[in-house]
Structure 1
Amino acid sequence: MYHGEDFSNVEELTHAIEDYIQWYKTEPIQQRLKGLTPMHYRNQALERQTT
Structure 2
Amino acid sequence: MPSTYTLGKAPEKLTQNQYERLQMIAKTNHKLLRGYTLKERLRMALKMSNIEEA
TM-score, L = length of structure 2: 0.45
Please identify the structure whose Cα radius of gyration is greater: 1
TM-score, L = length of structure 1: 0.47
Higher helix share: 2
Larger relative contact order (CA 8 Å, sep ≥ 6): 2
